[in-house]
Structure 1
């Protein structure tokens, strides 16, 4: 298997960035293992789902970011769970947390969004956790596409827990308008849930058409990370993508 690409800035001004999407189950599992997994992936961006949302949630998320060598960009309780972490390579242009319409009896959902720069590269980013209810999930997939289009950037990335498989209509709605990064350039393992006996891909990273996908999948052979770490950090496995984004 080819080594996973490193972050870098190309001579033409384009940037290769590493993006991690991870449902962390409100940090109810082994938080030390969780930080080791995130750190070993060496991401420039982490799109988190199920960040802590309630008592002292900001402090918990800040501790995870610090332990992973990152900083909080946006999200958490203010986005009903999705959050974004980043490294200091990123320059933040703006952020916005979006609460989606609430269906009575179901969980509140939201998006964490940002527009960032990596040198001459400008990119929109969105972290999501879509509904368990099929019709609501399909509507939220449409809202996600609308929100990305409204960021006002040429290139954008979305990632999260879709609660849907690639054959599902919500997943396919996203894949019709965006690149499904695993399907475009598979690397590592495919299935993301559950963490003990993975049997389905319900977590994914998507990118707009102008972004070059160098590789995407559940990371394997992470330095300093054991199989036990991956099984005890969360009930999902992470998805890591390397993306080359053209200069603005």
Structure 2
């Protein structure tokens, strides 16, 4: 028995843009799991993330303040069994960064999803990427990792995250107004089949955020 899930990775630009367009984009994609970068992480962050989830007709699975704005939202088809947050070592003069992990179950399969938003500094990014990948290795379940890497394929950051994983695909995601840079990525366990990969570029998506979303359809092992 196998299970299919749709996972979407989306940097939502701290909800600064057209929220109606954001909701429409997510509704059209109909993800089982939405991995968000730049969710609320400061004052009243729980309420803000709950409001976002309600707007998107999803529920909060994990993340927020303690994962530094990384967030997992799910539909009711997905049961979140466990969550944890990771913080990378603080580099003076830089923003604190981290990751969210959620152990999920759908009929026929269990898996782990994780999301992160890495540094803009090329000296710091690969170190954070390696720390993120090391945290993934603690799970025996198939892992799906997604995030804003702030680097393009070929940068050491991608190699650090992809070590032992498959890159689901690459395409420009930023800036949404005229995408030129493939700085967002999805990485999957080798036991997972990538049935489809696409970056959604539409009029609504260009209004919703400064990043375009990535959607992947996955076939999970039992």
Could you tell me the TM-score, scaled by structure 2's length?
0.96
The answer to whether 1:203 aligns with 2:178 is: no
| Distance in 2 of aligned mates of 1:174 and 1:99 | 16
Q: Does 2:160 correspond to 1:173?
A: yes
Superposition RMSD in Å: 1.2
Query: Take 1:177 and 1:85, find their aligned partners in 2: how far apart are those partners?
Result: 26
The residue aligned with 2:220 is 245
Q: Find out whether 1:103 has 2:103 as its counterpart.
A: no
Aligned to 2:118: 130
Instruction: Verify: 1:164 aligned to 2:151, yes or no.
Output: yes
Measured against aligned partners, the alpha-carbon deviations of 1:11-57 in whole angstroms (never above 9, x if no partner) come to: x2x11100000001111111111111111110000110011222222
- Paired position in structure 2 for 1:65: 53
Task: For 1:173 and 1:55, locate their aligned partners in 2 and report how far apart those are by CA, in whole Å.
Answer: 33
Residue from 174, 178, 184 that aligns with 1:193: 174
Q: How many residues align?
A: 222
Q: More deviation in 236-245 or 85-94?
A: 85-94
Report the Cα distance in structure 2 between the residues aligned to 1:103 and 1:206, rounded to whole angstroms. Answer: 26
TM-score, with structure 1 as normaliser: 0.86
Moved more, 59-68 or 15-24: 59-68
Q: Is 1:145–1:174's contact at 8 Å kept on the other side of the alignment?
A: yes
Distance 1:45 1:194 in 2: 23
Q: Name the CA distance, whole Å, in 1 between partners of 2:37 and 2:134.
A: 20
More divergent stretch after superposition (157-166 vs 53-62):
53-62
Q: In structure 2, what is the Cα distance between the partners aligned to 1:172 and 1:205?
A: 13
Residue of structure 2 equivalent to 1:117? 105
Q: Deviations over 1:140-193 (max 9, x none)?
A: 11111111111232x11000100010011111222332110015xxxxxx2100
Quote the offset at 1:66 in angstroms: 1.1
Instruction: Tell me the equivalent position of 1:46.
Output: 34
